[in-house]
């Protein structure tokens, strides 16, 4: 008998029928002899509808009250799920984030978890009940106000409670069958990855794979909590994210293990043209962008031209923040003395992720060669220990993903019957 | 500077525009120098929609989870209201029933308030904030589970918090201008009653006047908290419900003070025909109905006919419970030995309420005379210290209300511009 934490997203509980289906799945895990804790998100589009409602009342709603409003969403889904489980003859008790002991800081809208004290959850389990917990929410340590955790909050709630309860595993249910070697909508022959390390999953998430949020993987890695990412629409095994990659294949230990190819179309590129080649100019530029609250991803600085002592600095950022970035830089143009700005949101990023990549120089050569053969021009390159990312034209992303996937022999013999993202609603 | 508690019902906050209008009203009270605590119900039809959702998931949802679900309704309205107040330049903080210290027993769906510990509300007021509190909900003392208070719960929350905070008054905002001498839809010349005692208001509420729930008036009476019932759509004075009736008129002290005429079409009548005239038969009959969870209102037993030693017993009950009542009685028919049951849901109850009625025998005579003159047949009569109720045919209710209203000189000189019930949505 084990303790399992399951997390179901909004699309898994989109309507009454979906709630009942999820209830059956939960009861099945209980019947197998497990103690079961379930984290649930708000139903379908509830959160967006509540945001709409807030906009109709107030142009700039305060964080405390917006969190109070939004947390109504999980309150509904968790109560409904507990009812549906009750109809199947098992007792379930729902708990808000606050009741479940999810203690956070006071930053409304994107609070960080600072402690988890799941006494009431432990007690419910001891009483033989299934515990249903609202994802995405907590209570602030200082003011006892209700908070929300922001993006990836429900996944993070699940991992945090799993760690605090010393669960055997944290199952994240989603609408795909697991982590794939590439987006099957682009590469129909992409394979499910049976297992992947925390570090590789972090690089995949940072490179645009939307299946797990960076934050949840970071939390799991810190507490060494195994995550099982799987579909709520099938009983197949999904992908295990854990300490060491123990795939069903036994690869040659000296060969680099490639996890997959990720891509991201949500970024834009800013080039600062003609920056005087003086100490501290780059620092001034990136400080101004950071002060505007913009996260920068890749940075490339060219060698300065000998005749002008000027250089170009390019970086990528979320396209949503493009305007903020350009405004911040325009404000310091005179002070820094650069010549102009170029903004380009027609780019895409393609990344190859896998362990042991750096020690195998052949990996970069194969990657660049495959893109050249496919006629894809590379605009920027960035590498880490276990990742190589390139920025290409947006319209070349699909070609690049397919070319790299094939070049590293990731194609499976048969097409798996999945759709990557956005089913079942 | 005073402390005022205001309560706004669901129709007062039915949509974004209504929420903003209420926010202005609250800010006006704050600007007058008051400390302001606001109790708010769920928006418009939210509670019904949540009940629908529960029905789609579960045929018989558990009480704990149903309360968890329903309390999402006030959570939304209170957060939105706080946002709207923020936009007007005042800081409002919303609190759930639990956060506001509304402590209840554990009877889900109709919990009773057993304590109010409004420490966080007091602190918010001390910080200069407006406190917005979810009506209709609390937290159970034993299990710390979320509870709902059932019918009249939001009004009761308002009065309970007003009492616990030692407020100067509790203002109940509704969609009518106050308590009237009769339903203005039936009697266009009905007058607003400027003030009424707790006891009279209790009788009015028990007699079918829907403006305040019995429970809230009982609570106010126990703590001597003055209630001001008024319209959220005007700034006119409404009706004060308080210890002594201090109307603007100064009536002759020896004359009975008539508060008004109430009516109720929601009851049905059951007649148990041919009950053997033995000790204990009535007790058996009413015990069986009570055990079925049915509240009985009026009871009439005729003198038994000398030749048969049998009698008829009639009583009224909520028409919603009619089936339960008939089933309970049918089950004991053989044991009791009565002849038959007659069920009649085509009846209506009309009540005259006023202080000092019993000591003025002329009141009954005037009332019965006015009905006779109007051609209305009386089926049952019941009286209390400050009320006379009659059961008549349902189609005679309007005629009876008008006739009694006129007979006691309650008609005003002019028609007031109100609609009784159901405006503004």
Confirm if A103 and A124 have CB atoms less than 8 A apart: no
A391 in a structural domain: yes
Q: How far is A2 from chain B (nearest CA, A)?
A: 26
- Domain with B264, as residue range(s), is 250-425
Q: Do B297 and B422 belong together in one domain?
A: yes
Tens of pLDDT, residues A18-53: 999 999 999 999 999 999 999 999 999 999 999 999
* A269 vs A298: CA distance, rounded Å: 9
The response to whether A115 counts as a known ligand-binding position is no
Q: What is the value of pTM for the model shown?
A: 0.81
Contact B79 A94 (CB under 8 A): no
A–B CB contacts, 8 A cutoff, strictly below: 114
For B72: left if phi > 0, alpha if psi spans -120 to 50, otherwise beta; the answer is: alpha
- Chain B residues within an 8 Å CB radius of A16: 53, 56-57
Q: Do B79 and B213 belong together in one domain?
A: yes
Q: Given B249, B267, B288, which residue is the final one in a domain?
A: B249
The minimal CB distance from B57 to the residues A75, A83, A99 is found for A83
Decide if A144 touches B, using CB distance below 8 A.
yes
Q: Chain A neighbours among B 300-339 (CB < 8 Å)?
A: none
* A6 vs A115: CA distance, rounded Å: 20
Decide if B58 touches A, using CB distance below 8 A.
yes
Q: Do A345 and A262 belong together in one domain?
A: yes
Exposed/middle/buried for B43, CB within 10 Å: 0-12, 13-18, 19+?
Answer: buried
Band (pLDDT 50/70/90 cuts) for residue A256 is low
CATH number of the CATH domain containing B186: 3.40.1160.10
Decide if B134 touches A, using CB distance below 8 A.
no
Q: Do A145 and A252 belong together in one domain?
A: no
The response to whether A280 counts as a known ligand-binding position is no
Regarding an ipTM greater than 0.90, the answer is: no
Decide if A63 touches B, using CB distance below 8 A.
no
Chain B residue with Cα closest to A67? B79
A226 in a structural domain: no
Contact B16 A61 (CB under 8 A): no
Q: How far is B168 from chain A (nearest CA, A)?
A: 28
Decide if A69 touches B, using CB distance below 8 A.
yes
Band (pLDDT 50/70/90 cuts) for residue A385 is confident
CA angle A400/A404/A408 to nearest 5° reads: 175
A196 in a structural domain: no
Chosen for mutation from A57, A87, A91, A147 (greatest number of chain B CBs closer than 10 Å) is: A57
How many domains does chain B fold into? 2
Q: Chain A neighbours among B 12-41 (CB < 8 Å)?
A: 16, 19-20
Decide if A57 touches B, using CB distance below 8 A.
yes
Decide if B61 touches A, using CB distance below 8 A.
yes
Decide if A90 touches B, using CB distance below 8 A.
no
- Chain B residues within an 8 Å CB radius of A84: 57-58
Q: How far is A160 from chain B (nearest CA, A)?
A: 23
Strand arrangement, sheet containing B267-276:
B299-301, B310-318, B267-276, B340-344
Q: Phi and psi for A2 in degrees, rounded to 5?
A: -125, 180
Question: Strand, helix or coil at A279?
Answer: coil
Chain B residue with Cα closest to A17? B57
Q: Do B88 and B191 belong together in one domain?
A: yes
Q: Do A261 and A392 belong together in one domain?
A: yes
Contact A62 B72 (CB under 8 A): no
Confirm if A176 and A231 have CB atoms less than 8 A apart: yes
Q: How far is A34 from chain B (nearest CA, A)?
A: 23
A354 in a structural domain: yes
Decide if A51 touches B, using CB distance below 8 A.
no
- Chain B residues within an 8 Å CB radius of A144: 99, 120
Question: Strand, helix or coil at A12?
Answer: helix
Given a cut of 80, is residue A279 above it in pLDDT?
A: no
The response to whether A348 counts as a known ligand-binding position is no
Band (pLDDT 50/70/90 cuts) for residue A409 is confident
CATH number of the CATH domain containing B283: 3.30.2130.10
CA angle A278/A279/A280 to nearest 5° reads: 110
Q: Do B84 and B49 belong together in one domain?
A: yes
pLDDT of residue B130: 98
Q: Do B242 and B268 belong together in one domain?
A: no
Q: Do B180 and B325 belong together in one domain?
A: no
Q: How far is A83 from chain B (nearest CA, A)?
A: 5
DSSP string, B62-124: -HHHHHHHHTHHHHHHHHHHHHHHHHTT--EEEE-TTTTTEEE-S-TTSPPEEEE--HHHHHH
pLDDT of residue B343: 95
Higher per-residue pLDDT: A365 or B395: B395
- Chain A residues within an 8 Å CB radius of B57: 16, 19-20, 80, 83-84
Q: Do B76 and B138 belong together in one domain?
A: yes
Residues in binding site of B for substrate:
47, 74
Decide if B351 touches A, using CB distance below 8 A.
no
Q: Which among B337, B289, B296 has a CA at the least distance from the CA of B315?
A: B296
| Exposure letters B255-274 (e unless 16+ CB within 10 A, then b) | ebbbbbbbbbeebbbbbbee
Q: Given B249, B274, B301, which residue is the final one in a domain?
A: B249
Q: Do A274 and A421 belong together in one domain?
A: yes
Q: Given A174, A206, A238, which residue is the final one in a domain?
A: A174
Q: Do A152 and A275 belong together in one domain?
A: no
All residue ranges of chain B with pLDDT < 50 are 245-252, 414-425
Tens of pLDDT, residues A126-135: 999 999 999 9
Given a cut of 80, is residue A237 above it in pLDDT?
A: yes
Given a cut of 50, is residue A416 above it in pLDDT?
A: no
* A424 vs A11: CA distance, rounded Å: 7
DSSP category for residue A10: G
A111 in a structural domain: yes
Average pLDDT, chain A: 88
* A342 vs A325: CA distance, rounded Å: 11
pLDDT above 70 covers what percent of chain A? 92
């Amino acid at each position: 008998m084990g303790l399992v934490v399951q997390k179901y997203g909004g699309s898994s509980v989109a309507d009454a029928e979906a709630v009942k289906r999820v209830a059956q799945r939960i009861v099945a895990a209980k019947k197998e002899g497990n103690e079961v804790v379930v984290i649930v998100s708000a139903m379908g589009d509830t959160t967006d509808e509540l945001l709409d409602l807030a906009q109709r009342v107030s142009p700039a709603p305060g964080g405390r009250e917006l969190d109070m409003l939004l947390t109504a969403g999980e309150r509904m889904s968790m109560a409904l799920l507990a009812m549906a489980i009750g109809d199947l003859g098992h007792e379930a008790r729902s708990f808000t984030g606050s009741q479940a002991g999810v203690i956070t800081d006071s930053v409304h809208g994107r609070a960080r978890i600072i402690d988890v004290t799941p006494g009431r959850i432990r007690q419910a389990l001891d009483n033989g009940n299934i515990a249903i917990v609202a994802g995405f929410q907590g209570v602030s340590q200082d003011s006892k106000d209700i908070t929300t955790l922001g993006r990836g909050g429900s996944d993070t709630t699940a991992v945090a409670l799993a760690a605090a309860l010393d669960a055997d595993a944290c199952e994240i249910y989603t609408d795909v069958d697991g982590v794939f070697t590439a987006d099957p909508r682009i590469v129909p022959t992409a394979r499910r990855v049976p297992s992947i390390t925390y570090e590789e999953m972090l690089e995949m998430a940072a490179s645009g794979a939307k299946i797990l949020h960076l934050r949840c993987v970071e939390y799991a890695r810190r507490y060494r909590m195994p995550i099982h990412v799987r579909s709520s629409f099938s009983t197949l095994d999904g992908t295990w994210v854990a300490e060491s990659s123990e795939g069903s294949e036994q690869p040659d230990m000296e060969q680099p293990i490639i996890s997959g190819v990720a891509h991201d179309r949500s970024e834009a590129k800013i080039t600062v043209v003609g920056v005087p080649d003086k100490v501290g100019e780059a620092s001034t530029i990136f400080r101004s962008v950071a002060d505007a609250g913009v996260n920068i991803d890749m940075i490339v600085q060219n060698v300065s031209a000998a005749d002008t002592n000027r250089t170009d600095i390019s970086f990528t950022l979320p396209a949503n923040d493009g305007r903020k970035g350009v405004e911040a830089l325009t404000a310091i143009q005179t002070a820094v003395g650069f010549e102009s700005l170029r903004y380009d949101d027609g780019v895409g990023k393609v990344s190859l992720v896998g362990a042991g990549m750096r020690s195998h120089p052949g990996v970069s050569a194969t990657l660049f060669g495959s893109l050249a053969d496919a006629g894809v021009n590379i605009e920027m390159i960035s590498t880490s220990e276990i990742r190589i990312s390139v920025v290409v034209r947006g319209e070349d992303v699909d070609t690049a993903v397919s070319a790299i996937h094939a070049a590293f022999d990731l194609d499976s013999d048969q097409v798996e019957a999945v759709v990557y993202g956005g089913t079942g609603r």
